[in-house]
Chains A and B, each alone.
Chain A
Amino acid sequence: MTAPSPLLEVRDLVKHFPVRANPLAALWPAAIRRVVHAVDGVSFAIEAGETLGLVGESGCGKTTAGRLVLRAIEPTSGRIVFEGQDITALPPRGLLSFRGKVQIVFQDPYSSLNPRMTVGRMLAEPIRVHRIAEGAEVEARVRALLDMVGLSPEYFHRYPHELSGGQRQRVGIARALAAGPRLVVADEAVSALDVSVRAQILNLFVDLRERLGLAYLFVSHDLGVIRFVSHRVAVMYLGKLVEVSPTAELFKQPLHPYTQALLAAIPAVGDGATSIFDDTTRLLEGELPNPIDLPRGCRFASRCPHRMARCDEAEPDLREAAPGHAVACYLYA
């Protein structure tokens, strides 16, 4: 079997947001211009059918990275290659076919559906736009989509306000699938749902992946969710990837001190005898540094229990420390 190029490849992706949305700011020399370093040189690849979990806390840039992959926002620099084609600079007309192949599921089930459109119309729209079907066939396809996400056909004529959060999220997933994508970006897609509903939707994601051979970029702050749904995990901190690894290995042997702290801080169901919150030595101190004025060296150094002199001089590169397991940390370089 010839090694196929990855479905999606992202190289040195950068996104800087100006601090003040001031048209005059463009006149300042770049060195003085203050920017938020949302995504600062991120590279990864996703194979067809693979789920890459992108995890990190707020401000790490994972949501922005997801949006960049979709070209919902324009990168400041870097390349996005999808199915072997460089789509970074594709003009709007060329983007249409790309849009049919890469879709998104949003976090908030309440605001991601048009309140004035019936479910049927909402699902028919991508089908029509991408000419998947025409005329009477459109309705048949919509019903098939509803069935695929576990909604009975009567939901065709319902409005979003008649649906629960979990049902709305199913509609959102159906809409993402309508054009037959190969990659779906799930942007905190289950974070706003109740525990029992979350489990249903996660099961649905996994079932659909198996049925349709979908690849996912699963963005979430919840490591438990990431663990369940991802083949590989990429951990982000302040705009950079700090660790990338197959899922099982990341949770068994986290290498980066940040990943270790993250895992130590998760309140998992315990035995009730001891509490992770009583052993403060394993908990991270301090706050995130300012994403505008970043330190010169490793961005995690200020909170790292293993800080060395090297760490403040220059940023460590993401390097493979074990097969398939990459870390950006001088402890392993």
Chain B
Amino acid sequence: MAQPLGVGDRAFDPEGLGVPGPAAVAAAGSGARGGVRRWWRRFARNPGAVFGLAVFLGIVAMAVLAPVLAPHDPIAQGVGKPLERPSAAHWAGTDSFGRDIMSRIIYGARVALVVGLVAVLLAMVIGVTLGLISGYYGGIVDTVIMRIMDGLFAFPIIILAIAMMAVMGFGVRNVIIAVAVGFIAPFARVTRGDVLAVKEEPYIEAARLAGVGSVAIIFQHVLPNVLAPIIVQGALRVSGAIITESGLSFLGLGPPPPTPAWGRMIAEGQTFIVMAPHIATIPGIALMLAIVALNLLGDGLRDTLDPRMRR
């Protein structure tokens, strides 16, 4: 109700007895919870993004529940006649060793996801940290870090990965490291760009003038405000990481046999491409589906977190 403007009105609650202003009313469901619901609504308006999310979750489910879902042991040879076309017994057919391709695809999701997610996470942590330091401190530190990043950028990721595998040897762990190294530079650069902008905002100066130390400013003030585009980058890069891993395993540099990996399955199917095309094609389709879904998901995330809407 209205507040009379009396004489001597101390007006320490001129907003009107703690009634929140219209802006607060409009953002009802306050704080983080309401924010998440809003984001979901906006995200859900994009059919491609929802599809991408669904497929991605499906792949995750596939990877996690592989032992339950897979009809056969993926490395067991001879569970079916070799080179058998897709049938009721073997939905994706069998390969030259008589292994059930469907099971191999399901288990292959594990490799793809583990490498994709872990490599990107690793690259993100290192790249973002470098970007934060580079952008916030500027000067010679910035120049040195960025020139190193430029050097990394110059390599096509797959070449870099091959070189690293040659040095480090085989194994899933090394695949992850090799892929991660290739993605550090993009994260560093994206982060640095946003840090440069955020650094000039008055609230950063306010924190500095309040006596907050540089490290605290970087991680508590700057980082949360540059996170959104980084997450989008992450989502988009996962697909790139999976492609890189597939490329590596196609070349025989991936996780060693008999571990199923989509890339190697495609390579194995190369020789039989005329006789039994399903051996190469079906893993290829699985790979393609995963990539498209992840890209749609990444695009959807980017549109949802668009800075124009952020305020």
Contacts and interface: CB of A to CB of B under 8 A. Distances in A.
Interface in A157-204: 157-159, 161-164, 166-167, 172, 175, 178-179, 200, 203
B210 A99 contact: yes
Interface of A: 70, 72, 95-96, 99-100, 103-104, 106, 108, 110-118, 125-126, 129-130, 147-148, 150-152, 154, 157-159, 161-164, 166-167, 172, 175, 178-179, 200, 203, 207
Contact of B211 (A99, A166, A167): A99
Nearest to B213: A129
B13 A164 contact: no
- In order of increasing CB-CB distance, the 5 nearest A-B pairs are A152-B18, A116-B224, A99-B211, A112-B202, A126-B210
B209 A70 contact: yes
Contact of B206 (A110, A112, A130, A154): A112
Given A111-B201, A162-B23, A162-B24, A200 B14 contact: yes
A125 B10 contact: no
Contacts of A106: 202, 205-206
B12 A150 contact: yes
A103 B210 contact: yes
A154 B11 contact: no
B20 interface: yes
Contacts of A154: 18, 20
B225 to A, nearest CB: 5
Contact of A125 (B27, B31, B212, B311): B212
Contacts of A115: 203, 225, 310-311
A116 B225 contact: yes
Contact of B202 (A108, A125, A147): A108
A200 B12 CA distance: 9
B221 interface: yes
B288 interface: no
B151 interface: no
Contacts of B35: 159
A60 to B, nearest CB: 21
Interface string B260-304: 000000000000000000000000000000000000000000000
A117 B220 CA distance: 9
A178 B27 CA distance: 27
Contact of B203 (A96, A113, A151): A113
B278 to A, nearest CB: 50
B209 A99 contact: yes
A162 B30 contact: yes
B31 A164 contact: no
Given A157-B31, A167-B15, A175 B311 contact: no
- Among A126, A162, A164, residue most surrounded by chain B Cβ atoms (within 10 Å): A162
Contacts of A72: 205, 208-209
B31 A118 contact: yes
A150 B15 contact: yes
A157 B15 contact: no
Contacts of B4: none
Contacts of B21: 163-164, 166-167
A129 B217 CA distance: 12
A104 B24 contact: no
Given A116-B224, A162-B24, 10 more contacts: A106-B202, A106-B206, A115-B203, A125-B212, A130-B211, A148-B12, A152-B13, A154-B18, A162-B30, A163-B23
Contacts of B20: 152, 154, 162
Nearest to A99: B211
B207 interface: yes
A125 B10 CA distance: 29
B206 A104 contact: yes
Interface in B10-42: 10-15, 18, 20-24, 27, 30-31, 35
Contact of A207 (B12, B201, B208, B220): B12
Contact of A100 (B23, B211, B221): B211
A115 B224 CA distance: 9
B45 to A, nearest CB: 20
Given A113-B203, A207-B10, A162 B209 contact: no
B191 to A, nearest CB: 15
Nearest to A161: B311
Interface string B180-192: 0000000000000
Nearest to B205: A72
A125 B210 contact: yes
Interface in B162-215: 201-203, 205-212
